[in-house]
Amino acid sequence: MTDPRRATRILGAALLILAVGAGVSSTLSKRAEAEDLAITSLPVARFMSANAGERVQGLVWRGGIEMQSPIDTFGGLSGLGFISDDQKVVLVSDRGNFISGQLIYDEAGRVASLIGVTIEPLQNSRGAELPRAFARDSESLAVVYRDGVPSAVRVGFENLTRVADFELADGRPQGPAREIPIPKWLSDTRTNETLEAICIAPPASAVAGSTLLISEGILDDVGNRRGYMLGKADTGPISYVPGIGTNPTDCAFLPNGDLLVLERGVALIAFRMRLARIPAAEVKPGAVLEGETLLESTGGDIDNMEALAVHTAPDGSTRITMVSDNNFNDWQRNLLLQFSLPE
């Protein structure tokens, strides 16, 4: 949520969402580059009155953390990907930074901390830092596999709407961007309501390897969110039907090919979120995607939920991880919340 005028219309005078697309000065970028940062991780023990291991609507709560840092480039977390079996992660910030680190779990299998954190600026196709705030608004991230191994991350941007790959090296995205062609109707739309969700179909999917793009606020003729599927054999438009009062902010595939879509909205002076599941067989070009609700929440248990990823935890369970974007506001939080599907 990067436009303060839009947020103010929704929330009224009681709530002001500050613009988070503002650029980071070159001094801050150089200070953050390749620097190990200490992140304070506060445990989130309960969610909607449930303890870890207890069911919450269509999911099982597995624990979470609130991440804090005095470094003013840590925040705005809008996309998430797991890049190794030892729980190394890459997040993308809507100020145009990669945040890399490793999640640590306790003996009970609950996420406990984020360690080894570095913050590095994204680069353009020439290997230089992105020059303007308008170009830095990175909002989504998916991991690209080659021969079964994570090899790159695919990043979606709004405002200057585009998709680009960044190679992985030493557990971090590095080097210049390699832009991926996207439909002209998408790249020509340059607002903060364009490309919020990007995910890549797993091997079990009928559209394996295809990249799914879902816009936050670009509407088709009947008011659904426009999207597109990029693939060698599976290319074409899709539409997504969100819940009432929420818009898509990220997507991720389950190992069996089912699609999860995270949605975000506001209600009075609180954030709302919804997680929907679409069966694998329905995910194909030309489809109108409308999922069943797995989880809905409003208020203090959540924040501005924007990032979604699916991965395997150290105990072997499939986890669904959501991360919030604090918009670089003191009164918001960087939450990392984990769930699993009921057995």
Tokens of 266: 């506001």
Burial-class residue 169 by CB neighbours within 10 Å (0-12, 13-18, 19+): exposed
pLDDT at 35: 55
Q: Is the pLDDT of residue 141 over 60?
A: yes
Tokens of 314: 């150290």
Neighbours of 292 (CB within 10 A): 10
Average pLDDT, the chain: 90
CA–CA distance, 74 with 20 (Å, rounded to integer): 12
CATH class of 33-340: mainly beta
- Cα atoms found within 13 Å of the Cα of residue 173, Cβ hemisphere only: 34
Q: Is the pLDDT of residue 20 over 70?
A: no
CA torsion, ordered 8, 11, 13, 18, to nearest 10 deg: -40
Residue showing tokens 């799914």? 212
Q: Is the pLDDT of residue 216 over 50?
A: yes
- % of the chain residues with pLDDT over 90: 85
pLDDT at 131: 86
Judge whether 336 and 64 are in contact, CB under 8 Å.
yes
Q: What is the mean pLDDT of residues 152-172?
A: 96
CA–CA distance, 132 with 155 (Å, rounded to integer): 17
pLDDT in tens, 103-131: 999 999 999 999 999 999 999 999 999 98
- pLDDT level of residue 81 (50, 70, 90 thresholds): very high
CA–CA distance, 55 with 75 (Å, rounded to integer): 29
pLDDT at 88: 97
Helix (H) or strand (E) holding 310: strand 305-312
SS3 18: coil
Q: What is the mean pLDDT of residues 187-201?
A: 96
Residue 76 CA, distance from chain mean position: 11
Rg, C-alpha atoms of the chain: 18
Tokens of 23: 């650029």
Global pTM value: 0.90
pLDDT at 208: 97
Q: Is the pLDDT of residue 9 over 70?
A: no
Burial-class residue 95 by CB neighbours within 10 Å (0-12, 13-18, 19+): buried
